[in-house]
Amino acid sequence: MTFPQADLEREFYKKGFLRVAGVDEVGRGALAGPVVAAAVILPMPLEFFENIGIRDSKLLSPSKRVALSDRLRSLLFSWSVGESTVSEINALNIRRATLLAMKRAVEGLPEFPDILLVDGREIVPDLVCKQESFTGGDRRILSIAAASIIAKVYRDNMMSELDNAYAGYGLAENKGYGTAQHRDGLLLRGVSSIHRAVFCKTFLEPFRKKSIFQTEASLLSSNSDPLA
């Protein structure tokens, strides 16, 4: 397994760039809650950050993610979090809402980057800086991986808090993603104000069709002539 390295950041610093930032998002595929992005600028010496265990957030245990997020936030001068709300996701679509969250994260940095390394296939619209995008960047590029950790922990904490206000969906455990527990909560309680309407409709459609089929089959069975 390969781990994120700072080779690209190092290359840009050698070319004369002064502030190299990475940005990543979390929550794009969830059924509930906001999409969150984080942006970070890793300063020199980059070797230090290469040796503190930074990985793609999805490859870390929850406890390790929290510890690394706390450490990064205490070490870094330039980090920021941005989000797009459920209302914005419903109004804009998830792609545009994700890019908006990334834009907000970058604009929230204490110092604006000279170059931005973006996880994914697209660059972030309406930012006045050089950008390069990288599919799977959180697995290969250190600043993007660091951003993924901060974003993940921030959103996980937010979803745990929402679980207190919106009980019955298991948000503290599933973080808004489409688990069986979350599905059952939606079928029982319906879609709440923190759910993404289009996502939930698509997600629940197969289960609703199955429920209708089972109900019809049960009715046919109960109405059949026992002497036939």
Distance of alpha carbon 127 from alpha carbon 98, whole angstroms = 14
Q: Is 127 left (phi over 0), alpha (psi -120 to 50) or beta?
A: beta
Q: Is 216 annotated as a binding residue?
A: no
> For tokens 């870094």, what's the residue?
76
Q: Amino acid identity of 51?
A: N
Q: Which two tokens stand for residue 126?
A: 């309406």
Collapse the DSSP code of 134 into the 3-class scheme (helix H, G, I; strand E, B; otherwise coil) and give the result.
strand
Distance of alpha carbon 224 from alpha carbon 228, whole angstroms = 8
Q: Is 24 annotated as a binding residue?
A: yes
Distance of alpha carbon 119 from alpha carbon 112, whole angstroms = 18
Q: Which of 154, 157, 201, 195 is nearest to 177 (CA)?
A: 195
**DSSP letter (8 states) at residue 6:** S
Q: Is 88 annotated as a binding residue?
A: no
Distance of alpha carbon 176 from alpha carbon 202, whole angstroms = 15
Summarize the annotated binding site as residue ranges.
24-25, 119
Numbered residues of the known binding site for a divalent metal cation: 24-25, 119
